[in-house]
Amino acid sequence: MDGAEASTEVRDAFHAGPMAQAKLTLGMQLRVRGITNAHVLSAMLDEVPRERFVIQSMADRAYEDVTLPIGLGQTISQPFIVALMSQLLEPSPGKTVLEIGTGCGYQAAILAKLFEHVYSIERHADLAETARERLRQLDCTNISVHLGDGFLGLPDLAPFDAIILTAAPRKVPNALLNQLSFGGRLVMPLELENGDQFLMRYTNSKAGLFEEKLNPVRFVPMIQGLPVKNGPQATEISRESLPIESPKVDSIL
């Protein structure tokens, strides 16, 4: 964008109201932090209404670059992390993506604008159902939400061109690596023994599996199996994607 375009954009946003201004600010913050993929920016700022995924009283804060509550003790990820993970998957039309951890469905809705089809697995039946209904209302017809254990993936539908985990395991799940297509990318938060988490990217290349250690992040833990009836439902969700230090992304993008 050149200077003249930028000033027109600023003037239009000023006249369009607070949400347009907030989107403009968020767009600038995302670009400054290394989000350069125009399709990702458009999905985040123009195509998917983040205000529909947060609780109503927070709708006016939907385009701030922060984690927000979405009800039932859950949170929605910070836009920067959603954008960064989406960009790292190197999306293109015609490709498929597998997401582990549907949650409220926001990341899935963004991916739906960037990929041919999104397969998303959630282990909580109530979250899967609410996300399905919300995504249906938003006409996201190229997302299928599956109830199940993401550690297993969806072997019958594999391989996938991209795989994204939005909950953090302690090691890279082998079953998921095996479901990655040739040339495909898996992006995930990995929890180390000391409790720190890093965003990791694995590329399935000719020469073998290529690993990149990227930004420090904070996601909820990835939990094996389906929840037991009457067991804790929401406790592990409240840690999801807490605000993180501004990472240096230039070197890895």
The residues that touch ligand SAH, with contacts defined as CB under 6 A, are 76-77, 100-101, 103-104, 106-107, 121-124, 127, 149-151, 166-167, 220, 222-224, 237, 240
- Minimum Å distance from CB 190 to ligand SAH? 14
Rounded CA-CA distance 163/176 in Å is 8
- β-bridge pairing 180-191 and 96-100: unpaired
Distance between CA atoms of residues 149 and 138, nearest Å: 26
Residue 214 three-state SS: strand
**Nearest-CB residue to ligand SAH?**
101
Tokens 């125009």, residue located: 38
The pairing of beta strand 96-100 with beta strand 117-122: parallel
Residue 44: CB atoms within 10 A of its CB come to 25
The residue (of 27 and 153) whose beta carbon lies closer to ligand SAH is 153
- Residue among 80 and 106 whose Cβ is closer to ligand SAH: 106
Nearer to ligand SAH, 91 or 103 (CB): 103
Closer residue to ligand SAH, CB minimum distance, 13 or 53: 53
In this structure, which amino acid lies at residue 28? M
Tell me the catalytic residues.
Answer: 77
| Shortest Å distance, C-beta 210 to ligand SAH | 25
Shortest distance (Å) from residue 53 CB to ligand SAH: 7
